[in-house]
Amino acid sequence: MDTAWWHGSVIYHIYVRSFQDSNGDGIGDLRGLLSRLDYLKELGVDALWLSPIFASPNRDFGYDVSDYYAIQPELGTIDDVHALIQEANKREIRIIFDLVLNHTSDEHPWFIESRSSKDSEKADYYIWSDDIPNNWMGAFGGRAWTFDQSRGQYYLHSFLKEQPDLNWRNNAVAEALFKMVRYWLELGIDGFRLDVINLIIKDETLRSNPKIVGSRPRPYDLQRHIFDRNRLESHAKIRQLRSVIDEYDGRMLVGEIMAELPGEPELAASYLGKENDELHLSFDFSLAYARFTASSWKRVAKRWYEATGSKRDPSWVLSNHDLPRFSSKVRGNRHKLKLAALFLLTQRGAVFIYYGEELGLPNSRVCPKEMHDPLGKKYWPFHRGRDLSRGPMVWSIGPGNGFSEAKSWLPVTKDANFYSVENQNLEPDSLLNFYRTAIALRKGDTVLTMGHCTFIEAENPHLLIYCRTLGAERRLIVLNMSSGYQTCSLADLVPGEEIAALRLFSTHPEGRAEERGLGPLELAPWQGSVYDLVAQRRKSRSS
Ligand code: NOJ
């Protein structure tokens, strides 16, 4: 069995600016994060994915890097990174950096040199053209081409004009980036989350994308992105990057794959490589867009498993810094939140938890005046911006909720005291305590981390039922995704098998008692349970 740490892992995604402020400027930082490692240890996570922390003019909050070797001063210093790695590792927690390789900031020295003249050494580090060669649009508004006075040419930017796209067809660019990657690997970073990694190579002749008929607020969504994304050659580049990673033990790559809505699992899986030689993990966001029903979630999960196959890991995500918070989608219903958590934590592959998800944190309310996100600023009210899912973590009861003594850079969510860690610690049945127990259940059971997953077709459309199997060991997971009581017969679910059931775990406290036998299962509204299946003794058959 391949025992690489990311199989079955639980990875906690931290938007550093919003996690914990340590110096009273209203902005979260690395020292603050360091002070919260014990909380993360107790939660039981294996690794932390940190949103970008490299030097940046913050046009897109770190996704516009001006120096890959320097830490953004408001977030901390290189000494803080050393301390973080050391302290996290002491607690057996790994650190993953967010890495933006598709573009840099326009303040990066490479771009400054590239724009200075067509003859500069870095002239081909970015993608330049004498005129606008195609219809490509920027994801944050306007055309993807901006004229640069000093060079007298247009440059390509898939996002803001302050985020010029690197020219990955130039080997010198790839080599310079690999050198930087090695620097961080030497320093002890356990892996990278790769921003929009399927965008790195563009069509060689810069052909225009086909248009989509319809009306969408963002012109970017009115094109089929076949020439500015997913070019075949990008796979070869990712394989090169993978071989750099493989020079070091136990390092992991997880890639963001920008896809058409509501998700393309087959595309995300294609970046794992036919020979498992590209990314270790990739993101597909279908679940975040799916309706919270048994049939939708089953459809999404089956498709993801089919796309990844038995030798590659799917990864599971409910929300992130670009998406609305999952809690708001289910209107904070605690039963639904527990059920969703149980679903994720009983899947094969890697589970990603966005900070605050374990508290059921809802979206913050951010009015246009307070908005920082360039996407929200451009498209409000059609797009309400991404700040709403980037609000401060809520630690304690009282002013500032333990995040900062100063006014936080984004507003704290409404009812923050209720959601706070302090409050949920006081309540045995809280969502936070549920996450702790469910993560411990997963981590303590190789069937749940590694076992094969098969879905069982139930007659009852409200039930989502699946089995996890590893060797002779089996777990049965039954989720009632409805607001009514539902029953099913264990004997019908696994026909031909003689089983006894031992109730291991349930989202509802009253369901936690041990229960053996073959009797019908009754599930309360939004209840989910995990059963340990044990072959019934032959003796009982003959008796
Ligand atoms: C995807 C990131 O998740 C998003 O936050 C960012 O704005 C874009 N890539 C551009 O880097």
Query: Distance between CA 454 and CA 305 in Å, rounded?
Result: 9
On whether both 152 and 19 belong to a single domain, the answer is no
Q: How far is the CA of 27 from the centre of ligand 1 (A)?
A: 20
Burial of 332 (0-12, 13-18, 19+ CB in 10 A): middle
Domain count for the chain: 3
Phi, psi (degrees; rounded to nearest 5) at 252: -130, 145
Domain ranges, residue 499? 452-535
Shared domain check, 460 and 354: no
How many angstroms is it from 32 CA to the middle of ligand 1? 24
Q: Which of 402, 424, 442 is the last residue of a domain?
A: 442
- Cis ω on the peptide bond leading into residue 525 (within 30° of 0)? no
Sign, Cα dihedral of 45, 98, 292, 229: negative
60 lines ligand 1 (CB under 6 A): yes
Atom nearest to 103 CA in ligand 1: 11
Q: Would the CB of 526 count as within 6 Å of ligand 1? A: no
**Which residue's alpha carbon is nearest to atom 2 within ligand 1?**
195
Q: Is the CB of 165 under 6 A from ligand 1?
A: no
Residue 426 sits in the same domain as residue 478: no
Q: Is 476 within the bounds of a domain?
A: yes
195, 256, 284, 445: the active-site residue: 195
The answer to whether the predicted template modeling score (pTM) of the entire model surpasses 0.85 is yes
Q: Is 403 within the bounds of a domain? A: yes
Residue nearest to atom 8 of ligand 1 (CA): 63
Q: What angle do CA 141, 144, 149 make, to 5 degrees?
A: 110
The response to whether residue 159 sits with its C-beta less than 6 Å from ligand 1 reads yes
Own/partner pairs for 242-246, CB < 8 Å, 24+ apart?
242/273, 242/277, 242/278, 242/279, 244/178, 244/181, 244/182, 244/185, 245/181, 245/185, 245/191
The answer to whether residue 474 sits within a structural domain is yes
pLDDT at residue 324, rounded to an integer = 97
Q: How far is CA 284 from the centre of its chain?
A: 9
Catalytic, 247? Answer yes
Q: Is residue 276 domain-resident?
A: yes
Atom of ligand 1 nearest to the CA of 63: 11
- Residue 116 is part of a domain; what is its CATH number? 3.90.400.10
Q: Do 98 and 52 contact (CB within 8 A), yes or no?
A: yes
Q: Clarify whether residues 305 and 189 are in a common domain.
A: yes
Note the pLDDT of residue 515.
58
Residue 381 sits in the same domain as residue 477: no
Last residue of a domain, one of 442, 460, 479: 442
Rg (CA), the chain: 24
Pocket-testing residue among 64, 195, 258, 388, ligand 1, by greatest number of atoms within 8 A of Cβ = 195
Expressed in angstroms and rounded, the spacing between residue 124 Cα and the centre of ligand 1 is 24
Centroid of ligand 1 to alpha carbon of 19 (angstroms): 19
Has residue 340 been placed in a domain?
Answer: yes
Looking at the structure, do residues 379 and 243 belong to the same domain, yes or no? yes
For 177, the token pair is 């980036």
Residue 207 falls inside a structural domain = no
Q: Which of 89, 121, 156 is the last residue of a domain?
A: 156
pLDDT, position 527: 94
Question: How many CB atoms sit inside 10 A of residue 364's CB?
Answer: 22
Task: Give yes or no: residues 305 and 368 share one domain.
Answer: yes
Please enumerate in sequence order all residues whose Cβ is within 8 A of that of 426, keeping only pairs 6 or more positions apart, or say none. Answer: none
Residues 57, 193 share a domain: yes
- 139 and 283 assigned to the same domain: no
Does some domain include residue 162? no
Which is it for strands 153-156 and 128-129: parallel, antiparallel or unpaired?
antiparallel
Ligand 1 lined by 61 (C-beta under 6 Å): no
- Within-domain flag for 519: yes
Q: Among residues 38, 204, 246, 247, which one is catalytic?
A: 247
Distances (CA, A) of 488 to 107, 268, 474, 507, 531: 61, 35, 18, 17, 14
Whether residues 119 and 144 share a domain: the answer is: yes
pLDDT in tens, the chain (543 residues): 789 999 999 999 999 999 999 999 999 999 999 999 999 999 999 999 999 999 999 999 999 999 999 999 999 999 999 999 999 999 999 999 999 999 999 999 999 999 999 999 999 999 999 999 999 999 999 999 999 999 999 999 999 999 999 999 999 999 999 999 999 999 999 999 999 999 999 999 999 999 999 988 899 999 999 999 999 999 999 999 999 999 999 999 999 999 999 999 999 999 999 999 999 999 999 999 999 999 999 999 999 999 999 999 999 999 999 999 999 999 999 999 999 999 999 999 999 999 999 999 999 999 999 999 999 999 999 889 999 999 999 999 999 999 999 999 999 999 999 999 999 999 999 999 999 999 999 999 999 999 999 999 989 999 999 999 999 899 999 999 999 999 988 778 876 665 556 667 888 876 654 556 666 788 999 999 998 887 655 434 433
Closest ligand 1 atom to 375 CA:
7
Pocket test for ligand 1, best of 64, 97, 100, 162 (most atoms within 8 A of CB): 100
Mark whether 141 and 178 lie in a shared domain. Answer: no
Q: What gap in Å lies between CA 141 and CA 218, rounded to an integer?
A: 7
Q: Indicate whether residue 195 lines ligand 1 (CB < 6 A).
A: yes
DSSP state of 475: E
Are residues 500 and 527 located together in one domain of the fold?
yes
Q: For position 508, what pLDDT does the model report?
A: 87
